[in-house]
Amino acid sequence: MNIYDIAELAGVSIATVSRVLNDSPNVAEKTKLRVRGIMEEHGYVPSGFSRGQNATKTIGLICPDAADDYMAKAVARLEGSLRDYGYDCFLYCSGYGYEDCQTAVNALLRCRVDALILIGSIYADDDPDSQRVNYIREAAAHTPVFMINGYVRGENIYCAVCDDFDASRAAVEEMIASGRRKILFLADMDTVSTNLKRQGCQAALAGAGLELQADVSVGLSNQINQTRDHLLKLWELDVDGIFAANDALAAGALKYAKRRGLSVPGDLCVIGYNNSELSVCCDPELSTIDSREDRLCQIVIDFLKLHLGGRRGGGKVCAKGCLIRRGTTDF
């Protein structure tokens, strides 16, 4: 009988059981009474953090969409490493909604996983101390949480992030140094990572006394031709550089350029993000930022081994993204 059983029997979340244990004022007295009753009935003694004997040798992997190229690679890589290390993996594709993320975390906690790995900045917040991501801190009170490209500050939360801000700023600085002045930032949806890329882009421009020429969000992911069409509809568009938050968006930008009769990189230079298979499929091949998904996975696995070996606390390691120069830039 552990906290997961109590939560299930009481029909409440693990976070709520945790709050009852801590006598939090945010839980209704009626709920407290019911949860405590169930604990008493089943002779439940909270075990503190030690899970030792209860280890299930399973890890929960959560990502918004396992079909997304970046996440698919991370899922495959983590699953392989964890398998080698003797762990089975639960996979939960949460979708992108805030409540969906909470649901996913709670569902996998009920599976009694020994750790949770969250893939994608969607699970984080711009502010690592934000209250908005308390559900992650609450999960981490019971099960260590590891994050790929998201940073939440808290006990037993271990984060591996790419320095999206710095990598984006450096790339756009090069665009500017090559003479580009009218730069468009292209995104699909707003995530922490997207915001950092946009801010890096803006910082580079600000350093040269410039502003973004256009900030375009197409609002859908991995849709190359829809991105092209979205750009084609912006008749007044006059840009000489496009910095895209992922490679599918950049591939759409290349198709836009072709339709508009713009030469790449002569009339328009384009930089994508993630160094995906799409980037070498494009013609010309896409210059793109390697966001070091392989390295982030390795950092998380290393953190996990340290934690399972007894280390406590939490932590953050940052990997340096770097521009892969191919045919859509001339610098």
Span of 140-148, 175-183, 251-259, 304-312 interacting with its own copies by CB under 8 A = 251-259
Nearer of residues 66 and 208 to its own copies, judged by Cβ = 66
251 is an interface residue for its own copies by CB under 8 A: yes
79 is an interface residue for its own copies by CB under 8 A: yes
By CB under 8 A, the count of residues binding its own copies is 38
Nearer of residues 6 and 75 to its own copies, judged by Cβ = 75
Residue 221 CB, shortest distance to its own copies, in Å, is 11
Nearer of residues 20 and 119 to its own copies, judged by Cβ = 119
318 is an interface residue for its own copies by CB under 8 A: no
304 is an interface residue for its own copies by CB under 8 A: no
In the window 212-241, what residues touch its own copies (CB under 8 A)? 222, 224-225
Contacting residue, 282, 300, 319, 323, with its own copies by CB under 8 A: 282
- Say which residue the tokens 């496009």 belong to: 242
CA-nearest of 167, 171, 169 to 331 is: 171
263 is an interface residue for its own copies by CB under 8 A: no
6 is an interface residue for its own copies by CB under 8 A: no
User: Do residues 240 and 31 make contact, with C-beta atoms less than 8 angstroms apart?
Assistant: no
- The distance of Cα 88 from the centroid of its chain, to the nearest Å, equals 22
177 is an interface residue for its own copies by CB under 8 A: no
107 is an interface residue for its own copies by CB under 8 A: yes
CA distance linking residue 255 with residue 244, whole number of Å? 13
Question: Between 50 and 69, how does the x/- string for binding to its own copies read (CB under 8 A)?
Answer: --------x--x---xxxxx
Radius of gyration for the alpha carbons in the chain, expressed in angstroms and rounded = 23
Positive or negative torsion for Cα 166, 170, 173, 175: negative
Residue 321 CB, shortest distance to its own copies, in Å, is 20
Q: What is the DSSP letter of 243?
A: E
Residue count (the chain): 331
Residue 200 CB, shortest distance to its own copies, in Å, is 25
The SS3 call for residue 29 is helix
- The distance of Cα 169 from the centroid of its chain, to the nearest Å, equals 19
88 is an interface residue for its own copies by CB under 8 A: yes
What are all long-range contacts of 8-14, with beta carbons under 8 Å and residues at least 24 apart? 8/110, 9/38, 9/42, 10/34, 10/35, 10/38, 13/106, 14/106, 14/109, 14/110, 14/138, 14/139, 14/142
Bond into 128 cis (ω within 30):
no
Q: What are the residues binding its own copies (CB under 8 A)? A: 58, 61, 65-69, 72-73, 75-77, 79-80, 83, 88-93, 107-108, 111, 222, 224-225, 248, 251, 254-255, 258, 277-278, 280-283
